[in-house]
Chains A and B, each alone.
Chain A
Amino acid sequence: MKKLALILCLFAGGLLLMNAHYLPMWGDPASPASTHVSPYFIENAYEHTKTPNMVAVVLADYRSYDTMFEAAVVLAAGFACFFLLRSRARGKKGGHHYYRHIPTGVTIKIEEGGKLPAENSKVFRSIDALWTPYDPIIQTTCRCLIPFLQIYSLYVLAHGHYSPGGGFQAGVVLGATIILLAISHNLKTSLKRMSERTAALWSIIGVFIFAGTGLLCLLLGMDYLNYEVLAPLLLSDEAMARSHSILIVEVGVTMAVMAVMVWIYYNLSSAGQQDEGL
C-alpha cells in the first residue's frame, strides 16, 4: 500500500514537473494573467466597490467563492480535530490527579485507580497535573495585554478595506488572545470564558454568515455572492453595497477562523479530554 502511494506520488509529481515549462515565467508581462486579468482588476476595482485595498476586493468580492470555501476548509479542520481527538471520558485519563480540599487548603494527590471526587463537588476542586504555582508577572501582563490585542484585531478587521488586514488575520489575532489566556492561566479559565460549545457554534455561524450572504443574493434574483443586488437592503448604491458586503463576509471569516483556532487548541492541548491542558 505504501509502495503504491509512493508510485502514485512520483507519477503525479513527475507529470507536473514535465509540464512545468509550459507555465509562463514568473512576472512575465506577456502572460495571460498580466495582459488582461490584472489590468482589469487594477483599473476597475475602485470603481466597482469603492474600496481602495485591491487585495480585499479580489479576496472577498471577485474571488469570493475561493474565500468562502477556504473558510469552509478551516471549519472542516476544526471538525476533523474534534472527531479524531475528542473523547467523552472526562477526567478518566491515566496517571494521577490532584485535588484541592477547599476548606483546609490541602492539596491531595490521588494515584491511578483511586476514587475521584464527584465532578460538581463543592469541597474538592481539581487542579492540573502539570500544575505550577501561578506566576503573577505573566498573569498580570497577559491580563493587561489581552484587551489591547482584541481591540487591535477588530481594527485589523474593520480597516481591511484600506490597509493590509482582513478577516483571516483578525481571526488569528483574536483566537491567539483566547489561547494566550489558556496558556497564562489554565485551560479551565479559558473554557469558562469561551466554552467548547461556543467555539463550535461561532465557527459554524461564521461560515453561515458568508454562505448566507451569497444565498441572499441568490434569493433576490442574482448570481450567488453577487453583492450588487443587496443595495436596497444596505441602504446604499451598488458600489457601496459591494463594499459593505465585503465587511460582512470578513466578519464571518473572522468568527470562523477565531473559533476554529480556539477549538483545535482545546482539543490538541488536552488530548481531547478538555479538563487539563497546558
Chain B
Amino acid sequence: MIIFDIFIALLLAAGCVFLLGGALGILRMPDFYTRLHGASLLDTIALVCLLSASILYVLTRHPDVNGLITSLKIILIAVFVFITSPTATHAIADAGRRAGLKPWTRQNEEESP
C-alpha cells in the first residue's frame, strides 16, 4: 500500500508543478496566443495528474463497487474536460485572430507592447 501512497504523492506533486508552470506561463509569455497556449495545455496535463491521483486514492481506499463507481465518475470528468478545454482554447484563439491580433514575433516586438 505504501507504494501506492508514494505514487499518489508523486502524481499530486507533478500536477502542482504543471499548474505552477501554467501560471508562470500566463505571467511571463510575451503575447495573447502564447499565454493561451501555456494556460490550456498545462492545465489539461495537470488535471490528468490530479485526477489520476484521486482515482488511485479512491481505488486503494475503497476497493469495492462504490469505489469503482466513484472512479468512473472521475474519469467522466476527465473526458468532459478533454472535450471542452481544447474547444474553449480554440474559440478564444479564433476570436483573437478574427479580431485582427497578430501573433508575436521578434520582428514586431518593438511595435506592440
Interface residues of chain A, those whose CB is within 8 Å of chain B, are: 132, 135, 137-138, 141-142, 144-145, 148
Contact = CB atoms under 8 A, between A and B. Distances in A.
B60 interface: no
Contacts of B62: none
A141 B98 contact: no
User: 9 tightest CB-CB pairs across the interface, nearest first?
Assistant: A141-B87, A138-B91, A137-B90, A138-B87, A132-B98, A141-B83, A137-B87, A135-B94, A145-B84
A143 to B, nearest CB: 11
14 contacts: A132-B98, A135-B90, A135-B91, A137-B87, A137-B90, A138-B87, A138-B90, A138-B91, A141-B83, A141-B84, A142-B87, A144-B83, A145-B83, A148-B80
A144 B87 CA distance: 12
Given A138-B87, A141-B83, A142-B87, 12 more contacts: A132-B98, A135-B90, A135-B94, A138-B90, A138-B91, A141-B84, A141-B87, A144-B83, A145-B80, A145-B83, A145-B84, A148-B80
A137 B80 CA distance: 15
Contacts of A142: 87
Contacts of B84: 141, 145
User: What is the interface of chain B mostly: helix, strand, loop, or mixed?
Assistant: helix
Contacts of A144: 83
Size bracket, chain B contacts: under 10
Contacts, number: 18
Interface SS of chain A: helix
Interface of B: 80, 83-84, 87, 90-91, 94, 98
B16 to A, nearest CB: 26
A135 B87 CA distance: 11
Contacts of A135: 90-91, 94
A135 B88 CA distance: 12
Contacts of B94: 135
Contacts of B83: 141, 144-145
A145 B83 CA distance: 9
Contacts of A137: 87, 90
Nearest to B83: A141
Contacts of A138: 87, 90-91
B78 to A, nearest CB: 14
Contacts of B87: 137-138, 141-142
A138 B87 CA distance: 6
Contacts of A132: 98
A132 B83 CA distance: 23
A132 B99 CA distance: 11
A142 B91 CA distance: 12
Nearest to B91: A138
A176 to B, nearest CB: 13
Nearest to A140: B87
Contacts of B91: 135, 138
Contacts of A141: 83-84, 87
A41 B7 CA distance: 44
A163 to B, nearest CB: 12
